[in-house]
Amino acid sequence: LRLTHKGANGSEKSATVPSAFARIELDEPLNANSWLRVEYGQTAYVIGRFLTLPERKSLARATRAALQNAKRERHIAKK
C-alpha cells in the first residue's frame, strides 16, 4: 500500500506499508477527532483529513474491502 502526500508548495512525501499487515482504523463513535488511519506496527498515517465524517467512514469501509480482496488473491488455491 503506497501513501503519497503532496503539499501546497509541491513537495511530496510518500510511505509504503505492506498490505498484508496494514490495518485501517477509524475511531467510533464518529466525532470531529475521528481520524482515518492506516496503521502498521507502531506507525500510523492519518489519511482523508479533508473528508467529512460519513466520507471517512465510507473510505474506511472501501479500503478495508480492497485490502481484504488483495489478501484473498494471494491465497487462492491452485488446482
Cβ neighbours, 10 Å, residue 17: 19
- Enumerate residues 6+ apart whose C-beta is below 8 A from 12: 4, 5, 6
Note the pLDDT of residue 74.
72
Please, which pLDDT band fits residue 76 given cuts at 50, 70 and 90?
Answer: low
pLDDT of residue 77: 60
pLDDT on residue 73:
78
pLDDT per residue as tens digits for the range 13-71: 999 999 999 999 999 899 989 999 999 999 999 999 999 999 999 999 999 999 999 88
Distance CA 79, CA 18 (A): 27
Q: What is the pTM of this model?
A: 0.83
